[in-house]
Amino acid sequence: MEEKKKALKAAFPHTIPVMTGYIVLGAAYGILMNSKGFGLVWALSMSLIVYAGSSQYVAITFLTSIFNPIYALLLTLMVNARHIFYGLSLMSKLKGTGRLKPFIIYWLSDETFSVLCAAEPPEGVNRGWFMFFIALLDYTYWSTGTIIGSLLGNMISFNTKGIDFALTALFVVIFVSQWKDKKRHEPALTGIICTVFCLIIFGQNNFVIPSMIAIISVLTLMRKKIEGETVK
């Protein structure tokens, strides 16, 4: 129990930026679900079971239109295909996490992935439990925000257009934090360059997956050089 407490205490500060974003976005999702006639049980169930951020917003359209499971499946796969690359890049970090691994994988999100990549447990803190609590806390923030929004949905209303920018702002905060913490910036610069290049080539609606493929390919080619220079 003491080991778990230490891991939780060490993990919490790393999740504070995610908490501020997820509470707001989760609440907006709860309010939006409520405005479409779906109460707390539906909204919370979606956040607990689906837990897919942007896909949950997209799913509202599916729930309020003609049932088309094939289209819903394909669109969801396209929206969340980036998680394939997240999982591949986390394989080495998840080694040794044992029974905690399925939970960390299930609770993986964009922001959780970013935090897991950047955060390192303090000396004496179990890595597996440290990663577990980061993922669990982020999952809890999103669900809590959904509950708040769903309960407040009948009392307040506002135009939710543009609220997704909070997610973009959260990415920027995490990126800046990683930039400051890391001495080497080649991976970050690779991500920026590949993303901009793919955005120009494929357009804003189709650049995510090509960007991921390009980033993984370039970093794979540069891996030995980066790791070798880091050791030196």
pLDDT at residue 232 tops 50: no
| Average pLDDT in the chain | 84
Place of tokens 């129990």: 1
pLDDT at residue 195 tops 70: yes
Rounded Cα distance, 174 and 203, in Å: 25
End-to-end CA distance of the chain: 39
For 123-138, write each residue's pLDDT tens digit.
Answer: 999 999 999 999 999 9
Rounded Cα distance, 218 and 214, in Å: 6
For 178-189, write each residue's pLDDT tens digit.
Answer: 677 777 788 788
Mean local confidence (pLDDT), 59-73 = 79
Question: What pLDDT score was predicted for residue 222?
Answer: 81
Half-sphere exposure of 171 (CA within 13 A, CB side): 9
pLDDT at residue 160 tops 80: no
Mean local confidence (pLDDT), 80-93 = 82
**CB atoms inside a 10 Å sphere around CB 178:** 17
Rounded Cα distance, 65 and 111, in Å: 30
pLDDT at residue 226 tops 70: no
Backbone angles phi, psi at 129, to 5 degrees: -70, -35
Mean local confidence (pLDDT), 156-169 = 65
pLDDT at residue 100 tops 90: yes
For 27-64, write each residue's pLDDT tens digit.
Answer: 988 988 888 889 899 999 999 999 987 788 778 877 87
Confidence of residue 231 (pLDDT cuts 50, 70, 90): very low
Half-sphere exposure of 118 (CA within 13 A, CB side): 25
Mean local confidence (pLDDT), 86-109 = 90
Rounded Cα distance, 161 and 224, in Å: 45
Residue with more model confidence, 173 or 43: 43
